[in-house]
Amino acid sequence: MMSDAHRKQHAPAPQAVQRMRRAWLVLALGIAGMTLATGARGQDSSPGRYQPKLTTQVPPMRVEVIDGVRVRDIETGRVYRLFGIDACAPAQTAMLDRQSWPCGTVAIAWLVNATLNKWLTCAPIGEQAGEQVARCATASHPDLSAVMLKEGLAVAAPAADGDPAIRAYSAAEEQARKAFRGLWSSAFQMPWDWRGEHGDRGTSANSGQAAR
Residue 21 lies in a domain: no
What per-residue confidence (pLDDT) applies to 94? 97
Range of the domain at 175: 63-198
Q: Which residues are CB-neighbours of 13 under 8 A, at least 6 positions away? A: none
Residue 22 lies in a domain: no
Residue 4 lies in a domain: no
Residue 169 lies in a domain: yes
Average pLDDT of the chain? Answer: 78
Residue 89 lies in a domain: yes
What per-residue confidence (pLDDT) applies to 52? 47
Residue 18 lies in a domain: no
Q: Which residues are CB-neighbours of 212 under 8 A, at least 6 positions away? A: 190
- Measure Cα distances from 28 to 18, 32, 37, 39 in Å: 15, 6, 14, 16
Q: Which residues are CB-neighbours of 77 under 8 A, at least 6 positions away? A: none
- Measure Cα distances from 191 to 8, 27, 90, 188, 208 in Å: 75, 56, 10, 9, 11
Residue 9 lies in a domain: no
CATH number of residue 176's parent domain: 2.40.50.90
53 has a pLDDT exceeding 70: no
Q: Render pLDDT for 138-163 as a digit per residue (tens, 0 to 9).
A: 999 999 999 999 999 999 998 776 56
Per the structure, how many domains does the chain have? 1
Residue 16 lies in a domain: no
